[in-house]
């Protein structure tokens, strides 16, 4: 996964590898303006090709650049571009990322277990996720998979997940990539990038978000000094409060994250009403002429899943 992340330029924000399936939250990044330099291209290739293969590409590029410098020939420039395009068409693309990653994993698995043939039963499913609330929610949903499956009681104890890697570190990088991804998932709406140094701040909020989903503690209510009425904290206040509390079920966090909600695999687009409608407008030809807009309230979760909408109005199998 990390090899293809480095090659493609895409970023994995959250992941969980289960016994017979995987969950990934991936940010598909745009191609760099002006394209990649030769050095950047070779740097990416080293993640999926051997040293000898990368050396051959480097030699091709050097010869093509020499033609450009000596003759100023357009043919040389076209040749350089053609070399780049042999590889860049597979970058910054979800389908190519998943295809390369799953194929490489299948090769490793088949070799290790002395088997042949396909490993994955179906093609992967993908859902478009809006930054902010939707990204945070689905990141937590993914990291809580092993807890819901009864494999561990604390998501930090599950080694093969983004949260487990961020907390315990990995064989390489000491979990930095995982921490960067979760920082991005939690703070993407604030235009925060992949800044691992913000992990100490984000880790507390992220763990509390998962703790609220698991309903680890009873919700505490406080008396408002003005009207003497009991008040409960909303999600944002609970995340930032001095004590590790949880939220009431009516807010929908616990039920939405605890259950295997079909929206997370079949919803097509998830986010605010405006975000879903914008995606609907951009893909209008995929829907019937009778349909006027794209956003549909999520069913089966309280308070419309805290303001989240989906492009598909799922009715069957929603808990």
Residues 6+ apart with CB under 8 A from 148: 258, 260
* Chain center to CA of 6: 15
**Integer Cα distance of 273 and 170 in angstroms:** 38
| Burial classification of residue 264, based on how many CB atoms lie within 10 Å of its CB (0-12 exposed, 13-18 middle, 19 or more buried) | buried
| pLDDT, position 211 | 80
Residues 6+ apart with CB under 8 A from 276: 130, 269, 270, 294, 295, 296, 309, 310, 311
Contact criterion met (CB below 8 Å) for 198 and 183: yes
**Tens of pLDDT, residues 239-252:** 555 554 543 233 34
**Tens of pLDDT, residues 68-90:** 776 665 666 788 889 999 999 99
Residue 31 DSSP code: P
| pLDDT, position 240 | 52
Ordered by start, the domain boundaries in the chain are 2-30+123-258, 38-88, 263-310
The pair of structure tokens assigned to 194 is 């992949």
**Spans of the chain below 50 pLDDT:** 216-223, 228-235, 244, 246-261, 300-305, 317-319
**Tens of pLDDT, residues 241-289:** 555 454 323 334 444 444 334 555 665 787 888 888 888 888 888 777 8
| pLDDT, position 13 | 94
């Amino acid at each position: 996964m990390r090899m293809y992340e480095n090659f493609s330029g895409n970023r994995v924000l959250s992941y969980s590898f289960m016994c017979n399936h995987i969950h990934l939250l991936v940010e598909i990044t745009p191609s760099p303006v002006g394209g990649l330099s030769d050095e950047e291209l070779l740097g990416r290739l080293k993640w999926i090709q051997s040293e000898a293969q990368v050396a051959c590409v480097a030699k091709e590029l050097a010869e093509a650049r020499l033609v450009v410098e000596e003759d100023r020939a357009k043919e040389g420039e076209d040749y350089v571009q053609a070399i780049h395009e042999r590889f860049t068409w597979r970058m910054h693309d979800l389908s190519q990322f998943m295809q390369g990653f799953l194929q490489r994993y299948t090769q490793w698995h088949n070799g290790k277990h002395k088997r042949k043939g396909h490993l994955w039963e179906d093609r992967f499913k993908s859902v478009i996720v809006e930054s902010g609330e939707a990204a945070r929610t689905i990141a937590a949903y993914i990291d809580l998979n092993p807890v819901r499956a009864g494999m561990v009681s604390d998501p930090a104890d599950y080694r093969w997940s983004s949260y487990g890697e961020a907390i315990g570190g990995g064989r390489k990088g000491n979990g930095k990539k995982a921490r960067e991804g979760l920082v991005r998932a939690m703070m993407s709406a604030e235009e925060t990038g992949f800044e691992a140094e913000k992990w100490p701040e984000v880790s507390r909020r992220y763990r509390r978000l998962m703790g609220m989903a698991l309903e680890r503690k009873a919700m505490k209510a406080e008396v408002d000094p003005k009207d003497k009425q009991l008040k409960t904290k909303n999600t944002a206040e609970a995340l930032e409060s001095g004590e590790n509390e949880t939220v009431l079920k009516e807010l929908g966090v616990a039920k939405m994250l605890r259950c295997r909600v079909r929206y997370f695999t079949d919803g097509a687009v998830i986010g605010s009403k405006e975000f879903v409608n914008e995606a609907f407008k951009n893909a209008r030809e995929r829907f019937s002429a009778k349909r006027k807009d794209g956003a549909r309230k999520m069913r089966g979760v309280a308070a419309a899943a805290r303001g989240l909408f989906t492009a598909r109005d799922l009715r069957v199998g929603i808990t």
